């Protein structure tokens, strides 16, 4: 079974080049169902989080957060604040 992806970019996506300690908001939108399920396990929709660092790859960017050590999340789940 193919996994569904949501790519509707509303122009609010986070800046993947944001520096450490930048605050971002978790939206719970976009990305694969697997990514959303993982993020929802650790994060609350509408809450603000602090970037530790980002890992920019060819097709996606992983975001590491100060509040959730040893986990990473797809950048499409966040927006700038």
Mind listing the pLDDT tens digit of every residue in the chain (81 residues)? Answer: 555 544 444 557 899 999 999 999 999 999 999 999 999 999 999 999 999 999 999 999 999 999 999 999 999 999 999
pTM for the whole structure: 0.83
- Residue 37, CB-side half-sphere exposure with 13 Å CA sphere: 6
The CATH topology of domain 16-80 is: SH3 type barrels. (2.30.30)
Distance CA 50, CA 55 (A): 15
């Amino acid at each position: 079974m193919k996994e569904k992806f949501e790519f509707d970019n509303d122009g609010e996506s986070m800046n993947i080049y944001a520096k450490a300690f930048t605050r971002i908001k978790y939206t719970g939108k976009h990305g694969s169902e697997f990514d959303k399920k993982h993020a929802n396990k650790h994060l609350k929709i509408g809450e603000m989080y602090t970037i530790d660092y980002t890992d920019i790859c060819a097709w996606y960017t992983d975001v590491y957060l100060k509040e959730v050590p040893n986990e990473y999340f797809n950048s499409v789940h966040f927006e700038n604040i």
